[in-house]
Chains A and B, each alone.
Chain A
């Protein structure tokens, strides 16, 4: 008797789950699996092109495919932003949590192993996930190609070099851009152990308040180039990053005169 109830419940949950998820506009076989994997069993999901995902239709360099999430048309604040690449060996790219600041635009580069759908999910204040998707075609190999950085004999002296810039593309918004020399070895190539930045935080320089935090995963490209555009005036920030070997990277960046 108890067993039957359990089975019936499982069936009902399965049906309810299947009914609650919208069809994948890109018809990827990984759609449901990755939604459950990264957003959880109970996630309420809607497809929403106001979560504007900009990736090129094809990867000219499968080790460096640019991705931009533009939330400027998305109403209201978000609780989280999660991005993944359906067919990568480890699909996850990042999980971002806004703290004292709301992101309006995020950009970084990812690796791609084969033609795949790319996703970004923004969780609205009511808990619902809004999904933007795009297809990228690729000859492949971006995840299994050896790092270019480590192949360069000078990389150790350049390791951790960080360049940055602050911009105000729209009045009231501030954009920070950072480039870091780091091999970002994912641990999936030959015998090369994982060596990658996995924690990125942005603080307000004056108050030291945490503005946002990004957990980076295996799909992130080497020598990461981040763009963070924040709602609200932010004159100066402190970038804080840590890799899985415990190396810390900290830099300060201020919006220049008339920037």
Chain B
């Protein structure tokens, strides 16, 4: 009796609080996702090229979905539960088909933290990506709560139960070619819809947005894989971050940026530059359109420059330990 009264009072207080604060909060925290058709039955939901922030709620990523006559295939679920739910509602506005496959390209938080909005049995990932997500997911989640705040409310890590293997995935009459790469995170899924010629390159390609390197096995590997992407028969290229295009300029910019970065870090290490000097080094004018380049250079220097430094320094023997030196 007393307890239920207390609950009622608490409920009333909560409602009052809701009434007072709801309009501004709700308006501020809607992603306002929109789907752009890039081919017949293929849509892309484009995010900004900014960094994670409380203003964008982590919507800095491109997701997509493909309609088949046997269900909808989704590519990546976005940065939060709220995003995933908005994406699912958006899909329902464009297709009557149920979602049968959610293909998660890699384990970065902006691509997989909307998983909760989809039935678990529809979630698929490459085996290595799944392992990486199970390992790094909790730390990523903590970081996301810190970086984008309340947008993450209710978001929990869901590791997909199903694994993918490279090859052709046929859904209805669509043939999706699944390819496993590693340049960005060690496990990067690329999806080519052979029916429409749309290539979902995910984060192997950043366009007009500086690439991110915390998990890359190395820039040389990444550059090599980019060459392989160039040979694929696509008409439309969807990068993980940045605008959709026919792909020519995007791949050229990406290859140019990768090779500049690799070369600049190698040269800096050979000249003995310190890490903070490298973080401040000049970025060529031709990359003026690449958003976030200085910020990502600071991060990349932290992640990768120590390896370049190590290669440029020689192992010094202990003079005391050299036989016959006494």
List residues of chain A with CB under 8 Å of any chain B CB. Answer: 54-58, 60-61, 64, 66-68, 105, 107, 109, 139, 161-167, 169, 175, 177-179, 225, 227, 249-253
Whether B315 pairs with A61 at a CB distance below 8 angstroms is no
Whether B316 pairs with A163 at a CB distance below 8 angstroms is yes
B165 at the interface (CB under 8 A from A): no
Contact with A along B299-321 (1 / 0, CB 8 A): 10111001001101111111110
| New A-B contacts (13) at CB < 8 Å, excluding given A56-B276, A56-B302, A249-B318 | A55-B276, A57-B298, A58-B298, A60-B303, A61-B302, A68-B276, A107-B277, A162-B316, A164-B314, A165-B272, A178-B316, A250-B319, A251-B316
Whether A66 pairs with B146 at a CB distance below 8 angstroms is no
Residue in B143, B274, B279, B319 whose CB lies within 8 Å of A227 = B274
Whether B272 pairs with A169 at a CB distance below 8 angstroms is yes
Residue in A54, A165, A225, A249 whose CB lies within 8 Å of B314 = A165
Measured between alpha carbons, how far is A175 from B271 in the docked complex, in Å? Answer: 9
B280 at the interface (CB under 8 A from A): yes
Measured between alpha carbons, how far is A163 from B316 in the docked complex, in Å? Answer: 5
List residues of chain B with CB under 8 Å of any chain A CB. Answer: 143, 146, 271-272, 274-277, 279-280, 298-299, 301-303, 306, 309-310, 312-320
Whether A66 pairs with B310 at a CB distance below 8 angstroms is no
B279: A residues at CB distance < 8 A:
54, 56, 66
Whether A163 pairs with B276 at a CB distance below 8 angstroms is no
The residue on A at minimum CB distance from B302 is: A60
Whether A251 pairs with B314 at a CB distance below 8 angstroms is no
The residue on B at minimum CB distance from A179 is: B313
A227: B residues at CB distance < 8 A:
272, 274
Main secondary structure of the interface of B (DSSP, over half): helix
A57: B residues at CB distance < 8 A:
298
Q: How far is the CB of B58 from chain A (nearest CB, A)?
A: 16
If A66-B276, A68-B277 touch, whether A164 touches B316 (CB-CB below 8 Å) is yes
If A56-B298, A165-B313, A179-B313 touch, whether A66 touches B319 (CB-CB below 8 Å) is no
A163: B residues at CB distance < 8 A:
310, 313-316
Measured between alpha carbons, how far is A64 from B276 in the docked complex, in Å? Answer: 11
Whether A251 pairs with B276 at a CB distance below 8 angstroms is no
Q: How far is the CB of A250 from chain B (nearest CB, A)?
A: 6
Whether A169 pairs with B316 at a CB distance below 8 angstroms is no
Whether B275 pairs with A177 at a CB distance below 8 angstroms is no
B280: A residues at CB distance < 8 A:
54
A56: B residues at CB distance < 8 A:
276, 279, 298, 302
Measured between alpha carbons, how far is A107 from B318 in the docked complex, in Å? Answer: 23
Whether B298 pairs with A60 at a CB distance below 8 angstroms is yes
The residue on B at minimum CB distance from A252 is: B319
Whether B271 pairs with A251 at a CB distance below 8 angstroms is no
Whether B276 pairs with A60 at a CB distance below 8 angstroms is no
